[in-house]
Amino acid sequence: MTEPVSSNTNNALVQKLTGPQLFDKIGRPTRIVAPMVDQSDLAWRILSRRYGATLAYTPMLHAKLFATSKKYREDNWCSLDGSEVDRPLVVQFCANDPEYLLAAAKFVEDKCDAVDLNLGCPQGIAKKGHYGSFLMEEWELVHGLINTLHENLKVPVTAKIRIFDDREKSLSYAKMVLDAGAQFLTVHGRVRDQKGQKTGLANWQTIKYLRDELPKETVFFANGNILYPEDISRCMENIGADAVMSAEGNLYNPGVFNVDHTQDKDKVFPRVDKIIREYFQIVKDCQESKASKTAMKSHFFKILRPLLPHHTDIRSDLATMNAKATWEEWEEKIVIPVEKVVEEIYQQPDIEDKDEITIGEMQAWGGSYRTVPYWRCQPYFRPVNGITGDKRVMQGLTDADMNKKRKADVPLESSGKTKEAKA
């Protein structure tokens, strides 16, 4: 890691924090809301922190647009972003031009704890726009982007990368990113092609290899394969990461970060009606944030995913909503109907038995699936080619992987089916 002694910002030399200093300053967070386009919006970050997240990233912002378009900035950033209700915060940009990246970052340097460069986005739009994981072959450019922020921004620069198939190449790449000046390194343990139907499992072995081989003082975040709070501690222990980042796990269940309350199902698998109401209220309280009102529909679909097949009328109504709908329409068409149907569920005489969470057997990937009632937030296992998530996970593990994993880091003990303590 290069020494961030000082940086020349507005002709004034500013003493910059190193990664470890920054990590200390923001309270050594261990549970991170991932950057998510249209989804890690202000209101969602506030909600996620209430449920145990200790650091949050903004969605990826397009550096050139942010630097040059007032409208883009107004649509994606407001005075509450990065304010005292929204810290600690890392603002993420995608970029392929150091000048635009620096100009964009200057707009937010006083409203965040660090600025992150997205080097992981694998989507077609990133290929077309020449950013994210499509810079993985252009090390000089990546170095220049990071180094420009390292030398000219008041706050530290950080980076989020994907891995290559070849772990030695992944290590050299990570070293280059650190050498350019990145003070936190987040490693998403998937290669660029692992997206959509080919998403599959993140490779914790490669993440761990990087952790072990990089300088010990590197502030290192692991990303991928988090379904339940228990996976967070398992990930930190197995990999030796300083913190764990979650995207989809957090989106479908903000309770995934509630590691200190694993016996309290209302905190770990909150009722969907409670989360919908709470999130709706935060979005209303943050009316200045256009991004949050736009994101609400998609958040509602994800939170309500297990409930909607049982209440298709709510699904149809939600499909008709948009960011222009009034607060009253949102409340009357969605929030109140959800509350009503869940309240009815709790009127059943045998609800105590029905409202149970069961833990399945230990799986080869090192954790266990839970069975969660459909009125509670829960992880989503995407079906791929008609194969449900848990079967896919098993298929994705070759025998060799399983043996390696058993030896390397999995305390394989058969837990059988047990009932989790009730709240």
- Least CB distance to ligand FMN at residue 293 (A): 17
Which one of residues 19, 181, 224, 379 is an interface residue with ligand FMN (CB under 6 A)? 224
Candidate ranges 223-231, 279-287, 367-375, 399-407; the one touching ligand FMN (CB under 6 A): 223-231
Q: Does 35 bind ligand FMN (CB under 6 A)?
A: yes
Which one of residues 226, 275, 334, 357 is an interface residue with ligand FMN (CB under 6 A)? 226
- Least CB distance to ligand FMN at residue 302 (A): 9
Q: Does 379 bind ligand FMN (CB under 6 A)?
A: no
- Least CB distance to ligand FMN at residue 93 (A): 10
Site string for ligand FMN, 175-214 (x = CB under 6 A): -------------x-------------x------------
Q: How far apart are CA 227 and CA 9, in angstroms?
A: 41
Q: How far apart are CA 40 and CA 44, in angstroms?
A: 6
Candidate ranges 62-70, 135-143, 220-228, 377-385; the one touching ligand FMN (CB under 6 A): 220-228
Alpha-carbon separation of residue 225 from 301, 369, 394 (angstroms): 21, 12, 13
- Least CB distance to ligand FMN at residue 40 (A): 7
Q: How far apart are CA 105 and CA 152, in angstroms?
A: 10
Q: Which of the residues 258 through 317 are near ligand FMN (CB under 6 A)?
A: none
- Least CB distance to ligand FMN at residue 170 (A): 15
Q: Does 392 bind ligand FMN (CB under 6 A)?
A: no
Q: Which of the residues 332 through 371 are near ligand FMN (CB under 6 A)?
A: none
User: Residue 262, class by beta-carbon neighbours within 10 Å (0-12 exposed, 13-18 middle, 19+ buried)?
Assistant: middle
- Provide the token pair at 413: 């003990």
Nearer to ligand FMN, 220 or 375 (CB): 220
Q: Does 223 bind ligand FMN (CB under 6 A)?
A: yes
Nearer to ligand FMN, 75 or 332 (CB): 75
Kindly determine how many residues on this chain lie close enough to bind ligand FMN according to the rule CB under 6 A.
21
Alpha-carbon separation of residue 282 from 174, 211, 313, 316, 322 (angstroms): 38, 37, 25, 24, 17
Least Cα distance to 142 among 114, 179, 191 occurs for 179
Nearer to ligand FMN, 4 or 249 (CB): 249
What does residue 31 show for φ and ψ, rounded to 5 degrees?
Answer: -130, 115
Report the residue closest to ligand FMN, judged by CB.
60
121 is catalytic: yes
Q: Does 39 bind ligand FMN (CB under 6 A)?
A: yes
- Residues 121, 235, 286, 377: which is the catalytic one? 121
Q: Which of the residues 121 through 160 are near ligand FMN (CB under 6 A)?
A: 121, 160
Q: How far apart are CA 234 and CA 202, in angstroms?
A: 14
Q: Does 244 bind ligand FMN (CB under 6 A)?
A: no
Candidate ranges 29-37, 105-113, 315-323, 369-377; the one touching ligand FMN (CB under 6 A): 29-37
Q: Does 59 bind ligand FMN (CB under 6 A)?
A: yes
Q: Does 37 bind ligand FMN (CB under 6 A)?
A: yes
Q: Does 95 bind ligand FMN (CB under 6 A)?
A: no
Nearer to ligand FMN, 104 or 247 (CB): 247
Active site residues: 121
Task: Please give the residue ranges that form the binding site for ligand FMN (CB under 6 A).
Answer: 34-37, 39, 59-60, 92, 118, 120-121, 160, 188, 202, 223-224, 226, 246-249
